[in-house]
């Protein structure tokens, strides 16, 4: 049997990379092997991956030499950065630069860069609908990823445009909150526009489909979603699934930005982009393509069936 092609997975202990690691390990005869990269090889999630057959390797996005070592000998490299760990667009770009340089030095044959759009292309600099953040960004964690695309130019790269994880409902505090009246209030600045969403685990499964397809997607941008729904429709489905009453309250982004929790301004701007540029955002993401890459792709109802138990009822 031919030797398996190694895919080095950044973020293997997290959502995106975790889904990819799982997909590689589940497909025992798929011809690929998983190299799970983490800063802490002793942590539970890393050990669980090792127990399932992954090679677990230590590296840090802030240390380019460690990334090059971790990528050496790999066929594929999955690159993702975690803005939410430090909230800095500049740091996110530095980390992406390290990833691209390491992939190049290691001679990776297929790189996937988990990116997002530069939202500034949709608003003139003097557009006042939302503030600039971190001096020059509209949505720092989107705009910075898009700026970082340039570091990957010249590599055999697929630019992967992801969507809003439905898992944010339990992992990011974005579930409806119970009011004194017993009704769950879902306060979101999305108006009546649709939100392109996806099960976080499906991102990695789609990425695996991209590696399996080989050269078909190198040099291309691939946008994926599981389903696009209005928040009102999501609230209704959520209410039915959990046996609660969910009331969607569409607030203005300006109000949302003022809520004061860490990242409220960033998320206020992000949801405003989703709302005001619904056509552009949804147009860049395809459920059909995601399904082609990952036939097990979930829609929101299927995701609810599988994950509703994790959503906090508080």
Ligand X SMILES: NC(=O)c1ccc[n+]([C@@H]2O[C@H](COP(=O)([O-])OP(=O)(O)OC[C@H]3O[C@@H](n4cnc5c(N)ncnc54)[C@H](OP(=O)(O)O)[C@@H]3O)[C@@H](O)[C@H]2O)c1
- In the complex, the smallest distance separating the C-beta of residue 191 from ligand X, rounded to whole angstroms, is 19
**b/e per residue, 269-294, with b = 16+ CB within 10 A?**
bbbbbbbbbbeebbebbbbebbbebb
- In the complex, the smallest distance separating the C-beta of residue 290 from ligand X, rounded to whole angstroms, is 13
Query: Which residues of this protein are in contact with ligand X, per CB under 6 A?
Result: 10-11, 13-17, 38-40, 60-62, 80-85, 141, 162, 164-165, 168, 172
- By residue count, the chain amounts to 314
CB nearer to ligand X: pick between 118 and 183: 118
CB nearer to ligand X: pick between 31 and 263: 263
CB nearer to ligand X: pick between 14 and 189: 14
CB nearer to ligand X: pick between 168 and 181: 168
Strand segments (E) across 15-100:
32-38, 55-58, 76-79
Alpha-carbon gap, residue 87 to 84, rounded angstroms: 5
User: 99: Cβ–Cβ under 8 A, 6 or more apart, which residues?
Assistant: 10, 61, 67, 77, 79, 81, 113, 151
CB nearer to ligand X: pick between 40 and 216: 40
- In the complex, the smallest distance separating the C-beta of residue 9 from ligand X, rounded to whole angstroms, is 9
- In the complex, the smallest distance separating the C-beta of residue 4 from ligand X, rounded to whole angstroms, is 22
**Nearest residue to ligand X, using CB?**
14
Q: Which helix (H) or strand (E) holds 113?
A: strand 110-115
- In the complex, the smallest distance separating the C-beta of residue 178 from ligand X, rounded to whole angstroms, is 23
Alpha carbon of 275 to those of 18, 192, 193, 214, 280: distances in Å?
29, 8, 6, 35, 10
Alpha-carbon gap, residue 19 to 42, rounded angstroms: 20
Which tokens sit at 21? 């690691």
CB nearer to ligand X: pick between 51 and 124: 51
- In the complex, the smallest distance separating the C-beta of residue 209 from ligand X, rounded to whole angstroms, is 17
């Amino acid at each position: 049997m031919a030797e398996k092609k190694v895919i080095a997975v950044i973020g293997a202990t997290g959502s995106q990379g975790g889904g990819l690691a799982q997909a590689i390990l589940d497909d025992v005869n798929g011809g690929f092997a998983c190299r799970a990269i983490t800063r802490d090889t002793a942590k539970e999630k890393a050990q669980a991956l090792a127990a399932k057959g992954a090679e677990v390797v230590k590296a840090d996005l802030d240390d380019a030499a460690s990334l090059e070592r971790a990528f050496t000998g790999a066929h594929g490299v999955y690159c993702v950065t975690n803005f939410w760990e430090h909230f800095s667009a500049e740091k996110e770009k530095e980390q992406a630069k390290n990833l691209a340089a390491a992939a190049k030095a290691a001679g990776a044959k297929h790189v996937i860069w988990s990116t997002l759009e530069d939202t500034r292309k949709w608003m003139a600099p003097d557009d006042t609908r939302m503030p600039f953040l971190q001096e020059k960004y509209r949505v720092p964690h989107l705009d910075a990823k898009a700026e970082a695309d340039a570091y990957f130019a010249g590599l055999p790269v697929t630019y992967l445009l992801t969507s809003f994880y439905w898992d944010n409902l339990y992992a990011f505090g974005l579930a409806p909150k119970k009011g004194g009246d017993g009704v769950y209030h879902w306060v979101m600045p999305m108006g009546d526009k649709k939100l392109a969403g996806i099960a976080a685990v499906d991102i990695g499964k789609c990425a695996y489909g991209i590696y399996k397809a080989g050269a078909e997607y190198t040099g291309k941008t691939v946008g994926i979603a599981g389903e696009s729904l209005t928040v009102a429709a999501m609230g209704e489905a959520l209410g039915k699934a959990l046996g609660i009453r969910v009331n969607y309250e569409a607030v203005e982004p300006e109000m949302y930005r003022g809520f004061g929790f860490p990242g409220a301004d960033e998320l206020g701007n992000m949801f405003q982009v989703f709302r005001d540029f619904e056509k552009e955002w949804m147009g860049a993401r395809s459920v059909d393509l995601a399904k082609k890459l990952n036939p097990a792709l979930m829609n929101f109802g299927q995701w609810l069936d599988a994950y509703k138990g994790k959503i906090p009822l508080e």
